[in-house]
Structure 1
Amino acid sequence: MLKNAATNTRATAPEAAGLDAVAIKPAECRVSDAVDLPVETVAIDYEGREHLPDFDTLEALADSGEVRLTTPVRADGFDPLGDDSLVPTIPDGVDRVLVAGHAAYLTEAEQARSVAPRLGAALERAPDAWVGTESVERIAMATGATQYDLLSRTTEREVRAVRAAGFDGDIVVYAPTVLTADEDAVLDAVGAYVSRRRPVARALPEGAPTDASATGRAREVLLAAADDYALVGTAEAVGAQTTALREAGVTTVASYPARGLEAFLE
């Protein structure tokens, strides 16, 4: 566990909710604050080179627990078949999450690069890395590495299916998390996120707000989607959801604190 967590005799909300890891966005918070999180693992999302934590910050965090840095295999600096100049700047104690890379953080040239050979080459150098499955599910599964998947309404069924088919590797599920039953707080935190999922976008009335101001049909759709694509509710209610995920075969539940890091440090 990260520093300070082990000395706390009272279970914190993330612990009560059964969360194993916390994914943080360096553009939203100070990465160094994650040292106080009561979880075993911190995963740092990629939001462009300008937001990469520096060597000293990563090394200090890794001294307190497991740390994983997301690295897009198509991005200059992390491309194992091209410019990989940023890889040596990652401290030895920091593990990696290999992803294809979100288009918002890649140039057109980077987006055009093939994913499969780069994932394979990157795993040869970092065999313990997690592999993000978003948009490259089949390729990610073919690597046999730890799968890093987004929570959806079909996650439990899909995990049971791959386990039944013989996949015995680790499966990590990522979910935005709101540890409150307050509907307005839930919508303000994850309404916009769930509205971008295709089934939700199709069901929403055109032009409807996606935050706490949503009413009627839009509010019903968004709240139902929050249950499908995020972990929301009291710590105990979320704990029941994480238990169900583990029973289905999920190894690790990674949470993005959708109301800010401070909500997990209270």
Structure 2
Amino acid sequence: MLTGERSVSQTGIDAVALKPKECDVRMALETPFDTVAIDYEGREYLPDADVLRELADDREVRLTTPVRADGFDPTGDDELWEWIPEGVRRVLVAGHAAYLTESEAGRAVSPRLAAGIERAPDAWVGTEGIERVALAVGGTQYELLSRRTESNLRALRATGYDGEIAVYAPTVLSDDEDEILDAVGAYAARRRPVAKALPEGAETDSNAADRARDVLGAAVRDYALVGSVERVREQVSALKEAGADVIVGYPARGVEEFVE
């Protein structure tokens, strides 16, 4: 638990993202955030409907729903649309291949996102890998933090785009390099530019050395919010100045780091 000047509430982050495979998502009630986004990690890890209702009684809850997955497909098998409790909002995403069957992964994204936003006009729309489609569909654009996020935000706002933009960022409230790499080194290493730059077979946590450590040291700062509370606050401010409306922090070292 962090308090006072070291607490997450001092960073400017607006919402918390939690992974139900990692924690009891009701821990969101112990964080200072009014909005909680629940990631999708497979149907077997969906929180119980009663848990979602409990959260929605006290917070704005956004449940990630992969529109190509059986049960969440607004153009086909949509049984889980009605299962989601009233008051729980959605984050519509194409869905990561790791959580989809081969058949699901082969389904077209565009018509399903369009149908989803028609049924849930207040949904956020995940943009990863489908930026143009997501923008065309509308809704709050939900982006993953990357090295290009600030410049992309400025460019989008310069065109006159005035829709809401939310940015998802793994967050580590520490300036200890080993702690940072243990928390988000592997995550950053999965980003395509980073994977290409890393030596083959390199460690991606605190055991990283030489060139791998240099590459990862830069990458974790491109793809995550890391450092002291003051440093993270500066990063959040820069994103908002560039055009972001909502910053969603994922506590990469565990939800306890966000508890107050």
- TM-score category by the smaller chain? over 0.9
Match of 2:31 in 1: 37
Q: Deviations over 1:54-94 (max 9, x none)?
A: 11100000111111000000001010110100111111111
Checking the alignment, whether the CA contact within 8 Å between 2:68 and 2:107 is kept in structure 1 is yes
Q: Deviations over 1:219-251 (max 9, x none)?
A: 111011011110000011000000000000000
Identity %: 65
CA distance in 1, matches of 2:168, 2:215: 21
Return the match for 2:14 from 13, 20, 32. 20
Match of 2:147 in 1: 153
Matched, 1:119 2:113: yes
Return the match for 2:61 from 67, 72, 85. 67
CA distance in 1, matches of 2:49, 2:201: 44
CA distance in 2, matches of 1:165, 1:52: 38
Match of 2:47 in 1: 53
TM-score, normalising length from structure 2?
0.97
Q: How far is the alpha carbon of 1:15 from its aligned partner?
A: 1.1
Q: How far is the alpha carbon of 1:40 from its aligned partner?
A: 2.0
SS in 2 for 1:168: coil
Counterpart AA for 1:169: G
Return the match for 1:190 from 165, 184, 191. 184
CA distance in 2, matches of 1:241, 1:104: 30
CA distance in 2, matches of 1:231, 1:136: 23
Matched, 1:176 2:176: no
Q: How far is the alpha carbon of 1:10 from its aligned partner?
A: 4.5
Return the match for 1:248 from 242, 253, 259. 242
Match of 2:135 in 1: 141
Matched, 1:96 2:96: no
Matched, 1:236 2:216: no
Matched, 1:257 2:237: no
Runs of 4+ residues deviating >3 angstroms: 9-12
CA distance in 1, matches of 2:178, 2:6: 23
For these two proteins, the number of residue pairs brought into alignment is 259
CA distance in 1, matches of 2:246, 2:172: 18
Q: How far is the alpha carbon of 1:11 from its aligned partner?
A: 6.1
Q: How far is the alpha carbon of 1:199 from its aligned partner?
A: 1.3
5+ residue gaps, structure 1, are 1-8
Counterpart AA for 1:96: R
CA distance in 2, matches of 1:37, 1:265: 5
CA distance in 1, matches of 2:168, 2:13: 10
Checking the alignment, whether the CA contact within 8 Å between 1:70 and 1:99 is kept in structure 2 is yes
CA distance in 1, matches of 2:204, 2:172: 16
TM-score, normalising length from structure 1?
0.95
CA distance in 1, matches of 2:4, 2:88: 29
CA distance in 2, matches of 1:80, 1:67: 20
CA distance in 1, matches of 2:244, 2:34: 16
Matched, 1:203 2:185: no
SS in 2 for 1:23: strand
Q: How far is the alpha carbon of 1:130 from its aligned partner?
A: 0.1
5+ residue gaps, structure 2, are none
Checking the alignment, whether the CA contact within 8 Å between 1:14 and 1:39 is kept in structure 2 is no
Return the match for 2:212 from 206, 209, 218. 218
Counterpart AA for 2:124: W
After alignment, is 125-134 or 34-43 more displaced? 34-43
CA distance in 1, matches of 2:63, 2:164: 18
